[in-house]
């Protein structure tokens, strides 16, 4: 928010500004949203939902930086957190850190970080009258209506009809990987909770980390030391879990 406050102190302002309403752990999203609401006529907040929570986290991990471990982890976090808690020397390049270490670290760090950053399951910060909330699931699968609603909220007229961009959206959607990651992870969690059988295609690292985090919420841990190849079967995964 410091960048936003600095921007407001300038004499010239742009008609549209994009920024994250929370970027540090000490900030409170609700307070920041209230501050934004007081400073602007209208603002738009893109929010993940139950069906796109893990997808959003995966996209942040894989798309914002060319290599999250080098660009975000090493620059912004205390790397000694890994060096002190896992058998990884500080000088080890990120490409040589074992997958099981990366997965377990992300399960402790990244899911709670994502919860805090987006104000997960705290709708109080989404109630401002001049705030238009767009859920990711609607942006993905109800794109035309989402744009129409946005046009009405902003009281603007699009230069071209919405139909002109629908083909572009379809193309972009076809290029998005792991669209079903939330559905798959929920099926895995259900299978683990009900002791039923379920198999799946290999998950990206963030999906595996979410499963490990989820099991921890159920008071289970995974015997993950050296587990670079994550199971793709609930029976095999169940054989690896224990209650600490």
Residue 29 near residue 113 (C-beta atoms within 8 A)? no
- Summarised one tens digit per residue, pLDDT across range 180-230 is 999 999 999 999 999 999 999 999 999 999 999 999 999 999 999 999 999
pLDDT of residue 78: 62
Confidence bin at 26 (pLDDT 50/70/90): confident
Residue 72 has pLDDT above 70, yes or no: no
Sign of CA dihedral 87, 91, 92, 94: positive
pLDDT of residue 172: 93
Domain-wise residue ranges, the chain: 2-50+120-175
- SS3 sequence of 162-196: CHHHHHHHHHHHHHCCCCCHHHHHHHHHHHHHHCC
- Summarised one tens digit per residue, pLDDT across range 131-162 is 999 999 999 999 999 999 999 999 999 888 88
Of 211, 208, 235, the residue nearest 99 (C-alpha): 208
Average pLDDT, the chain: 89
Distance in angstroms (rounded) separating the CA atoms of residues 39 and 28: 17
pLDDT of residue 67: 76
- Summarised one tens digit per residue, pLDDT across range 160-172 is 888 889 999 999 9
Angstrom distances, CA of residue 127 to CA of 56, 110, 174, 232? 22, 27, 33, 41
Residue 79 has pLDDT above 70, yes or no: no
The percent of residues in the chain predicted with pLDDT above 90, rounded, is 58
Angstrom distances, CA of residue 48 to CA of 2, 92, 151, 154? 24, 34, 21, 21
Residue 74 has pLDDT above 80, yes or no: no
pTM exceeds 0.85 for this model: yes
Of 125, 85, 121, 120, the residue nearest 224 (C-alpha): 85
pLDDT of residue 166: 94
């Amino acid at each position: 928010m410091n960048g936003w406050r600095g921007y407001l102190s300038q004499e010239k302002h742009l008609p549209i500004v994009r920024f994250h309403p929370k970027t540090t752990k000490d900030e409170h999203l609700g307070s920041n949203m209230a501050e934004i609401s007081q400073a602007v006529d209208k603002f738009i907040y893109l929010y993940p939902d139950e069906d796109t929570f893990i997808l959003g986290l995966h996209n942040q991990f894989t798309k914002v930086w060319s290599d999250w471990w080098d660009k975000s982890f090493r620059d912004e976090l205390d790397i000694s957190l890994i060096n002190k808690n896992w058998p990884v020397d500080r000088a080890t390049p990120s490409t040589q850190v074992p997958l099981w270490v990366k997965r377990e670290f992300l399960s402790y760090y990244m899911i709670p970080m994502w919860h805090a950053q987006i104000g997960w399951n705290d709708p109080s910060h989404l109630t401002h009258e001049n705030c238009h909330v767009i859920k990711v699931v609607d942006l993905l699968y109800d794109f035309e209506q989402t744009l129409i609603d946005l046009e009405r909220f902003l009281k603007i007229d699009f230069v071209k009809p919405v139909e002109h961009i629908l083909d572009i959206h379809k193309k972009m959607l076809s290029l998005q990987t792991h669209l079903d990651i939330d559905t798959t992870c929920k099926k895995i969690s259900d299978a683990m909770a009900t002791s039923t059988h379920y198999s799946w295609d290999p998950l990206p690292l963030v999906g595996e980390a979410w499963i490990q985090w989820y099991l921890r919420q159920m008071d289970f841990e995974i015997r993950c030391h050296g587990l670079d190849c994550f199971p793709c079967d609930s029976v095999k995964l169940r054989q690896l879990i224990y209650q600490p």
